[in-house]
Each structure stands twice: as structure tokens, then as C-alpha cells.
Chain A
Amino acid sequence: MSKFTKEMIDNYANKLLIGLTDEENEIVLNEFETIEGRMNLINEIDGLSDVEPMHYPYIIESTPRSGHIIKNDSVEDLLKNSDKVSDREIEVPKVVG
């Protein structure tokens, strides 16, 4: 029997603020044994505890940017892709109080 449940899948999705239909949940549920099996292939490699995780392909020497003045993006540009704008601000439902 699978150790995964519909509720677990919904929980993983909910943490990302994504909702699933029952059909989507069922597909994921059916896939998860395979996914876990696949992930376990990673753990079949010996001696992993001594290996440093690799976060980027290689070390890139970066130097601080040169100090010069750059033009700010205009407020109008920043707002033009939002559906709800009030004056110079993005409008959202009341968050506190």
C-alpha cells in the first residue's frame, strides 16, 4: 500500500498556493511511488555523506559592480502589468486589522 495519501498531496500543493482537482490529485498520487523510487536511485550511490553539495556548475569569481548611477524604473512602468492599481500603488484586499 502506498505511503502517500490524497491529503499529503493536497498539503504539498497547498504549501505552494496551488489547488488540485480530484483528477490531478489522483494522477500525482499514482506517480508518487515512481517518483520516490526514482529519487532513491540518488541514494544508491555510496559515500555521499563525504561529498559537498554542488549548488552551481562551477565557481564563478564575481567582483563588485562598478559604482555608477543608474536610472530607476519608473513607477508607471512598474505598475502597468498589474490588474488593480490605485494612483501610484498596487491595490490588494486589506491584510491587517
Chain B
Amino acid sequence: MDSVILDLQEKLKKGELTPEILINETLGNSKVVQDNFNPFVTICDNVSISDSDSILSGIPYVAKDNLSTKDILSTGSSNTLKDYVPFFDATVIERLKKKGAVLVGKSAMDELGLGGTGTTCHTGVTLNPWDKSRITGGSSSGSACLVASGVVPFALGSDTGDSIRKPAAFCGIVGYKPSYGAISRFGLFPFASSLDHVGVLTRTVKDAAIVVDNVVGIDENDMTSIDLKPNLSESLTNDIKGKKLFYIENMLDLSKYEESDELKKIFTEFNKTVEIARSLGALVEGVTIDQNLLNAIFPIYQCISCAEATSNDSNLTGIIFGPRGEGDNYIEMIKDHRTKGFCSLIKRRFIIGSYVLQKENQEKYFLNAKRVRRLLVNKFNELFETYDALIMPASGSIAPKLEEINEVINGAGTMNEVLENYMAIGNFGGYPSITIPNGFVNSMPIGINLTGKVMDDANVLNIAYTLESNMEYRNQIAKEVK
């Protein structure tokens, strides 16, 4: 079975399952999983099921809590928005509603999307359903947990650096970020507007294609939306003969890393998948990229994302929405609201944004970061003229233990830092990028990532689908749940 959604739909059509039973089961499972892993901000107890002939009709799903949902709490997992209830739906929510998909909850995330661990949600840490002592990754932590634990067949997420694709790897599922603008961002709480993407987490590539097919298209409320045609699920041919893939050779040289048995195993699994691709007729070869450019990936991400976040989140004042701060004047009130409302990590990220935006630093840091972004994108655009996709491990580690999480910044410019953050290239260039499961290391799931040319989503998804079809990790449910 290559699609959980199609399987459920068939059961609904045959009468083996009714939408009411499916939703009630989902809500029951939601509560059990919430008690164990804490992935929800809100469980929607009172859902309405509408009739539609869409493939998504009656299918339950979860949305990340930074997507606006009419009359449903939408907090961005921040105390600054802990009681915020939007009066409109994000376009992606509205489109799913029209297709009859049933929103059963809002998932926890790193506060306002500015983290990568799933540990900074105002409702607490989200635990990994494969091993409760480990993180899910983030920022789409709750969405990843709920798909991996089998509660829902799909969940919406957002991705500014790798916030869909990294937790997908750590939770053994599929995480797909389509081309920039393919899914409207109207109603998404912005983090870094030039990097933000809406995407989907599923347990099969086909389900990712099905969901995205149903939500793409121009949205006049989002001037950056693009006209990606909804033909992804029809493009999954299971044939990659003649496709050309590349990996970044200088990032896969073990001698450049601190010695790690775990990393060695991750590279071994990656190499096995490369051999599968070759056995299916694809050409896979290594390409060397200027190390200075690679070393700049994370600094660019940090510089641009923190600067844009500083601006985007300046509307969190507690005046128009959010809990009102205390003070004798509006400045004091806003400062009190923001000081009490943001977690320590967010404050530190904002200060980086403030620093690079200082008049004396703008040219040296902020604008130069944007210049190197262009050089990187030019380089990858050039490679995508020759190759169909980049194939790489999605991470250099399995999901870390909770006690290993240390958000304090240190160790700039190491190869580990490059490997852990290179997927931001997908955001710099707006490329379609998908992580799929690639086996296990030390009993925890790992992933590979495929990234391709802008608007070439169908090609990238077909490569992912074909590899998935020739491995054994499709539709995995996490072992702590089983």
C-alpha cells in the first residue's frame, strides 16, 4: 500500500468505515498520544464532517499551530499569543476544508518556528514517539510526532530552514516542502518571509503528493504564490531510469568529522540507497562544492532568518492581541508583554537579528549574507541544469536525547554544523525538497533528502517515490506507539 489516504478512502467508500467512526477513533488516539508525547496545543473535540467527493473527504489531519484557523486557538506555541483565536482561515486550511478534510487538532511547535528541537513550545516539550527520551526535532515537532505515531495520515507544517524535513527524518516519516510559493502562506504566522514555506508531513510519498495537489495554486492574498499545477500524484511512475542525481562529495568525507560510529552508520545507509538508485538506472555522482560556500550556509540562515523574524514579530505587542502587559505607558506595556511572553531562546535569536540590522552591521552582515545566498543559489541552479536532484543524508545524527539539547551557540564553522544545516539551501533557492525514511541507526529512524529545481516538484517526488518503493520504510508507525 503506497497511500494511507487512498486506503482510508477505499474503506469509507466500501462502507467498511464511516467518517464518524474514523474521526472518533482519531480523537481517541489523539488523547492517548497527547498523554504520552505532548504533541498538541489543541485537540478539536467538536469537529464537523462535511460531504465532498474529494479524495480528502473525511480524512483527519492536524495543522501546525502557526497556521490561522477560524475560531480555533492558534498560538504559534508562544505565550505572547496563548489566547489568540483568529477570525479567518489560512488559505491552505480553507482549501482543505473545501475538500472535506477534517481538522482534528493544532500541533505544538518550537515557539513561533524559531527552533529546531521541539522543546520550546509554551505547552512543553514534544517527545519522540520512537523513543520518549529523545526529541522530535522541529520546529514542526507536534506534526511530525502525530504522523509518526499513526494518529493522522497527514499534518501541515512550515519550513524556514528545515523545519519539516528534519523532524521527518528524526521521526521516520516523509516531510515535503514544495517550491517556494506553491502553497499559499496567507494566514501563516511569518517567521522569515523570504524563506518560509508551507508543506506537509505524511507516512508515504504518494500521500504527500495527494495533499499538496489539493492545496496548491495561485492565491491572490499571497503575492508570492506560484502556479504549480496539481499533477504530482499522477507523476509517480516508479521509474528513474536515466535520472541524474548528485551528492556533495566533500560533505560525505568521514575524515572531516569528529569520529562518530553513528555518523559512519548513517553514511553507510545513505550509500546503500545510492546503490539502489543506481540499480534502478539512475546516474549518481559526487560533486565538490567550494567549502567556504558550504561553511556560510548556517551563518546566512541565522543572519537572514533572525533579521526577518525581528521585523515580522514586531507586531507582537500585547495591544491588538495577546495578553496585555503592565506599565504606565504603551512602551512599558509592550516591553513587559514581550519580556514575559518570549522564551529565552527566542529573545536571543531576536538579539542576533537586532545586531545584524544595526546601521554599522547591515552591509557587512545582513547584505553580505544575501549576496552569498545568491552565490549559493546560482551554484545550485547551475547544478540543477545538469542533475535532476541533490541526494544527501537528512542529518548527521539520529534524534538527540533531551539532555543533549544545548541551544547555546558554540563551535562555528565545523563540518557537523554544515551537515546539520545544509538543507536551508532548499529555502534559499525555494527548491522542492523532500525527506524520506532511510532505515535505522541504533534503533532510531534516519532519513535521506532529495532537493531539485524550482517548479520541478513532480520530478523530485517521483525520484523519492521510486526510492521509497524499493526500500522497506514506507508507512512506518513509531515503536513506542505500537
Contact = CB atoms under 8 A, between A and B. Distances in A.
Given A37-B413, A52-B371, A83-B324, A42 B299 contact: yes
A39 B303 contact: yes
A51 B374 CA distance: 8
A60 B355 contact: no
Interface in A38-85: 38-39, 41-45, 48, 51-58, 60, 62, 65-66, 73-74, 77-78, 80-84
Q: Which 10 A-B pairs have the closest CB atoms?
A: A57-B430, A53-B370, A81-B321, A54-B374, A19-B339, A38-B412, A83-B324, A77-B87, A51-B371, A12-B354
Contacts of B335: 17-19
Contacts of B336: 19
A35 B473 CA distance: 39
Interface centre among B223, B334, B371, B411 (most CB of A within 10 A): B371
A41 B358 CA distance: 19
Contacts of B302: 35, 38-39
Contact of B330 (A56, A57, A92): A92
B342 A18 contact: yes
A97 interface: no
B351 interface: yes
Interface centre among A43, A58, A74, A95 (most CB of B within 10 A): A58
Contacts of B410: 31, 34
Given A18-B342, A19-B335, A28-B351, 8 more contacts: A16-B353, A17-B317, A17-B334, A18-B350, A41-B292, A45-B375, A60-B181, A90-B319
A54 B429 CA distance: 10
A32 B351 CA distance: 10
Contacts of A74: 87
A53 B364 CA distance: 12
A41 B370 contact: no
B373 interface: yes
Interface in B318-337: 318-324, 327-331, 333-336
Contact of B409 (A34, A53, A57, A60): A34
A41 B293 CA distance: 9
Interface residues of A, number: 51
B189 interface: no
16 contacts: A12-B358, A16-B338, A16-B350, A16-B353, A18-B351, A19-B339, A28-B351, A38-B412, A41-B292, A42-B296, A42-B303, A43-B364, A56-B180, A56-B224, A57-B427, A73-B88
Given A24-B348, A55-B370, A81 B85 contact: yes
B402 interface: no
Interface in B368-400: 368-375, 377
Interface string B344-357: 10011011111110
A51 B370 CA distance: 9
B370 to A, nearest CB: 4
A93 B328 contact: yes
Interface string B284-306: 00000000110110111011000
Nearest to A61: B226
Contacts of B322: 81, 83
Contact of B180 (A28, A57, A73): A57
B147 to A, nearest CB: 26
Interface in A1-28: 9, 12-13, 15-20, 24, 27-28
B226 to A, nearest CB: 6
Nearest to B361: A39
Nearest to A31: B409
Contact of B413 (A17, A18, A38, A48): A38
A44 B295 CA distance: 10
Given A15-B354, A51-B371, A57 B412 contact: no
Interface centre among B88, B317, B318, B413 (most CB of A within 10 A): B413
Contacts of B154: none
B374 A53 contact: yes
B194 interface: yes
B72 to A, nearest CB: 13
